[in-house]
Structure 1
């Protein structure tokens, strides 16, 4: 599966940002992800922050270090951020010393993996993160997928989780600070004239007791 993921992202790297984040849905998701990251990370001090699966560098304003399995994604992110330390690497075997980073982020990675690989990466990130440091990442919601009946036909977007399950598998190394929902409604399908009103409602529901039924969940863990 790792080879398939690598090949897939090498092939789409050149047009990844324009195809995924230039449309209305992609812009909304990007804005929501940035909104949450800004709550926890100081953009003025990112020297010891790491972005795992950094891709084209969409979130490298929050980190001076990036790692990705795709050489083409790395090429693009290096061109965008020549002063940052961006390398090819495997999230299951991060090439960094113990407790090296203040904070770690990772977006649109775990959705493609199985639970065993997810647990390995969570443990590996825990190894390289300093005490009290944050790990902020996203995974599709299992509860939402059960209700909607969604089933991925391949590894792409095939992983999902419940909050209680994530708490259980991370309890050794991490405390769960909180989690947020992303995209309670299919915002991209709502007419533009009324979309802004639904975004306000969407934001409210994604931080309410119903948030686990959002499409994606963003978790904020703190290293023990």
Structure 2
């Protein structure tokens, strides 16, 4: 599966930013993800932050280090951020010293993996994160998928989780600072011209008691 993921992202790297985040759908998601990162990370102090699965560098304003399995994605992120420490690497075997990073972020990674692989990566992230450091990441919501009946036909977006399950596999190393939703509304069904008007109320619902029923969940964990 790892090789399939690598080949897939190598193939789409050149047009990834324009195809995924220049349209109203991508801007909607990007707005929500950045809102969370701005809340928890100081963009003036990113020297020891890592973007895990950094892709084309969409979130490298929040980290001076980036790592990704796709060489083509890395080429693009390096062209955008030539002064940053961006390398090709495997999330299951991070090439960094113990307790090296202050904070780590990772978006659109765990959605493609199985729970066993996810646990391995969580262990690696814990190893390289300093005490009290944050790990911020997203994954599709199992509760939402149960309601909608969605089932992925492949590895792409094939993983999902419930909050209690995540707590059960992270409690030894991490405290759950909080979690919130991403895309409570099924925005792909909302007319493109009016999507932007739903962002504010979507954000409110993604922080409410209904948040676990959002499309994706973003977790903020703090290292013990």
TM-score class, shorter-chain normalisation, is: over 0.9
Equivalent residue, structure 1, for 2:165? 165
Q: Which whole-Å CA distance do the structure 1 matches of 2:15 and 2:194 have between them?
A: 30
Q: Which whole-Å CA distance do the structure 2 matches of 1:196 and 1:56 have between them?
A: 24
The CA RMSD over aligned residues, in Å, is 1.0
CA deviation after TM superposition for structure 1 residue 193, in Å? 5.8
Matched residue count: 224
**CA deviation map 1:65-94 (0-9, x unaligned):** 000000000111111100000000000000
Equivalent residue, structure 2, for 1:113? 113
Q: Which whole-Å CA distance do the structure 2 matches of 1:31 and 1:117 have between them?
A: 28
Q: Which whole-Å CA distance do the structure 1 matches of 2:103 and 2:188 have between them?
A: 31
TM-score under structure 1 normalisation?
Answer: 0.98
Residue 79 (1) aligns with residue 79 (2)? yes
Q: Which whole-Å CA distance do the structure 1 matches of 2:57 and 2:162 have between them?
A: 28
CA deviation after TM superposition for structure 1 residue 191, in Å? 3.3
- The answer to whether the 8 Å contact 2:183/2:216 transfers is yes
Give the 3 Å change call, closer, same or farther, for CA 67–196 of structure 1 in structure 2. Answer: closer
Q: Which whole-Å CA distance do the structure 2 matches of 1:4 and 1:20 have between them?
A: 19
Q: Which aligned pairs between 1:178-197 and structure 2 lie closer than 5 A?
A: 178-191=178-191, 194-197=194-197
Which SS does the other structure have where 1:32 is aligned? helix
- The answer to whether the 8 Å contact 1:187/1:199 transfers is no
Q: Which aligned pairs between 1:178-217 and structure 2 lie closer than 5 A?
A: 178-191=178-191, 194-217=194-217
Which SS does the other structure have where 1:158 is aligned? coil
Q: Which whole-Å CA distance do the structure 2 matches of 1:3 and 1:82 have between them?
A: 26
Q: Which aligned pairs between 1:32-43 and structure 2 lie closer than 5 A?
A: 32-43=32-43
Equivalent residue, structure 2, for 1:89? 89
Residue 17 (1) aligns with residue 17 (2)? yes
TM-score under structure 2 normalisation?
Answer: 0.98
Give the 3 Å change call, closer, same or farther, for CA 88–194 of structure 1 in structure 2. Answer: closer
